[in-house]
Every structure is written in structure tokens, then in C-alpha cells.
Amino acid sequence: MQKVFIALTDHKRLDEFLAKELQISKNQVLHLIKEGLVFYQKKGVKKGGLALKKGDEITLLTPKIAPKLLKRGLDLEIGVIFEDEDLLVLNKPPNLVIHKAPSVKEPTLVDWLEFKNYELSNLGSKERYGIVHRLDKDTSGGIVIAKNNFTHVHLSEQLKTKMMGRYYIALLSTPLKEEKMSVECYLTRNPNNRLKMIALKAAKKEKSRYSKSEFTSLLTSQNHLNLIGAKLFTGRTHQIRAHLEYLNRHIIGDNLYGLNQALPKEEIRIMLHAYLIEFKHPRSEQKLRFKVPLLKDMLEYLKKVFDKENLDEVLDEEKILHAFIAK
């Protein structure tokens, strides 16, 4: 797939022209050029300083399906919560990596998007086409995908300015000490286990990053399992899990940050789901909010723990939002 632009007037620089047309920065245009996605008069462009004349044709390529993607493992059932010409909201299943990395061998969400022939933004590397924000491999739930660079830039800005709201549901093996708790700290790799993140009160290491989460108790079972809501103010790797470990609390099914608290001989994935997501539509500027239903495995497990009527009540989106607003 490709997009073609025609210069209506003379321009001093190609990168300035595309930055204005795509509503992105010149640095992002230079990344597209570096990736070999920009063509001038059907010839590959190597520099952004190319002078344009009226009537010149510029072509921008968008991701295509690669033959290697036509393989087993991409026939995934991924729920589409919302779709228009600019973006997708998906219900990601657990045990699915978002994008490729040196250690990742299995198909990813980006592979699936390309396999389904979705047009995606291409501001990032080829492995991250369309990805505005991430979910951990083991986490299910809502994720927003940008179909074009205009959308990608505007959604990324909402993430940066905290305008995008992200709320999670998690089941803990032990109740929170208080009805509402927050964690504000720096996260870095655990020196004793490189698969984990560890919380620091201050930025003591070069690669530590600021993080903030809020937690609220929603429902507690007779055997003291605790259903909670979590609100993200930042989006660091393993943030919710690492913050809960900082509070000496652990999510059911989390074998990395806590013991697997499932019933004997029962295999269960981590009980963590991105449940609500809200943002302003980049083009219409309409405020949108999406409730991303719990997947069957998690919902069935919660029904074994809680009374259905009580569960339905606390999973109401207004109840969850109000729990974070209420003092």
C-alpha cells in the first residue's frame, strides 16, 4: 500500500513538505526515509534536504504483508472493540507479545495486524508499526493501534500528557492494606533477575524511569482474594506487577512476581486485564471511552471466586471510574 503526494508549489526541503502533509516532525520523516519508505519521482530518497518543485510526486509506502507471516500461529481470535479509518481498539489475548524483539520467536500482535492486511502507522521501526502503547505479554485487554502517522502522533501526545486514561482489573492473593493506595517510584531492571523490574524510591541508576500507579479495592472474597482496579499514570514495563510487589501484594497466576496462587494442578494465566481506555479521537476530537470485556478464562475464574451479582456491580465502568475519583 502507498500514499502519493503532489507538490502544489516549490519547496526548499522534502522533509519539511512531508512533515506538514503528515503532521509529524522532521525527525520522524527522516526515520521514514531511513527505512526506505519515501520515494521521489519513483526513485528512493536518501536525504530529507531534497528540494521540491511544483508538480513533483512523492510516494510514501506503508507496511505490506511479508510472505514469512503466512504461517501457523496467526489464526488468533482477537476481538475488535472499535475501528474507523484512523485507529483500532483491540482486546488482546494473554500470552501474546506486542512486537518483535531479539528474544521473541513466536508470532506477535504486529505480525497478526500485517497478516490481516491492516494499514498501519510507520513512525517506529518495522517491528513496531502501529503500536502507540504496549501491554505485557501475559496481560490481556485493551490496546489502541494507529492506522496512520497523524493518529500515532496525536495519541502519543495524549499518552505523554496523561490525557489517555488506562484502567486495569486484577485479582490479588491478599487484599490491599487500604481501600486506596498509590505507588510513585522509579523502575529499573532487577539486578538479581533480569526478567523482572524493581522499584526504587529515587532515580539511583541511569536507566531507571519514573512511574506512578493508583490502586483501589473493588471486592474481597471470603477466602480473602481481592479484586482491584488499577489506574496507570505512566506505562513502564511490568509497572502494575512491580508496584504491587513493592506493596508486598501479588496477582493470582503471576509466577514471576509472586507465587502461582491457583488451585492445585490448575494452570492459570495472570489475572490482569486492561479493562477501560479513554482518549480524545485525534481527528474528530470526540472524547471516547471503551470497556474491553474480560476474556472467558478470566471471567470464569472470577465467577468461581465471587458472587455473580456482586461481580457485575463492581465491574460497572462508572463504578470503577468513581472509585478513583472518590476521596
C-alpha cell read off for 69: 507471516
Can you tell me whether residue 250 is helix, strand or coil? coil
- Maximal C-alpha separation, the chain: 74
Does an H or E element contain 169, and which? strand 165-172
CA distances for 224 relative to 174, 209, 210, 221, angstroms: 6, 33, 31, 5
CB contact at 8 A, 236 and 220? no
Catalytic residues: 136
Q: Return d(Cα 270, Cα 298) in angstroms, integer.
A: 9
Q: Return the bridge partners of 166, or none.
A: 232, 277
CA distances for 102 relative to 65, 99, 110, 131, angstroms: 20, 10, 15, 18
Give me the residue label for grid cell 510507520: 122
Q: How many CB atoms lie within 10 A of CB 190?
A: 16
Handedness of CA 316, 319, 322, 323 (dihedral sign): negative
Q: Return d(Cα 180, Cα 87) in angstroms, integer.
A: 33
Q: What are phi and psi of 165, to 5 degrees?
A: -95, 130
Can you tell me whether residue 3 is helix, strand or coil? strand
CB contact at 8 A, 186 and 210? yes
- 322's CB contacts (< 8 A; 6+ apart) are none
